[in-house]
């Protein structure tokens, strides 16, 4: 696979897409952990949902 004189444009494009997709995945994963941690903290402080169900249980 020879990219010729346009290699910089092609490699930059693919690298940028990979970077942005990775940032999206990491951001969503960190946000999930943060929300779960906050819910655990609130439940530990004695606040519970009206239904009485565990707020962090999503299964």
Partner 1 sequence: MTLLDLANPTKFLSLTARVLPWLAGATAILLLIGLYQSAMAPDDYQQRATVKIMFIHVPNAWLSMFVWGVMSLSALGTLVWRHPLADVAAKAAAPIGAAFTFLALVTGSLWGKPMWGTYWEWDARLTSVLILFLMYLGLIALWRAVDDPSRAARAAAILTLVGAINLPIIKFSVDWWNTLHQPASVMRMGGPSLDKAFLIPLLVMALGFSLLFVTLHLAAMRNEILRRRVRALQMMQASQQAA
User: Helix or strand or coil: residue 47?
Assistant: coil
* Touching partner 1, residues 10-49 (CB under 8 A): 10, 12-14, 16-17, 20-21, 23-25, 28-29, 31-32, 35-36, 38-39, 42-43, 45, 47, 49
Q: Which residues have a Cβ under 8 Å from the Cβ of 48 and sit 6 or more positions away? A: 55
Q: Which residues have a Cβ under 8 Å from the Cβ of 11 and sit 6 or more positions away? A: 3
Judged by the rule CB under 8 A, the positions of this chain that interact with partner 1 are 1-7, 9-10, 12-14, 16-17, 20-21, 23-25, 28-29, 31-32, 35-36, 38-39, 42-43, 45, 47, 49, 53, 55, 58-59
């Amino acid at each position: 696979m020879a990219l010729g004189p346009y290699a910089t444009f092609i490699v930059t494009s693919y690298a940028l897409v990979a970077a942005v997709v990775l940032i999206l995945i990491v951001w969503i994963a960190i946000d999930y952990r943060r929300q779960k941690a906050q819910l655990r903290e609130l439940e530990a402080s004695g606040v519970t949902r009206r239904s009485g169900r565990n707020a962090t249980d999503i299964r």
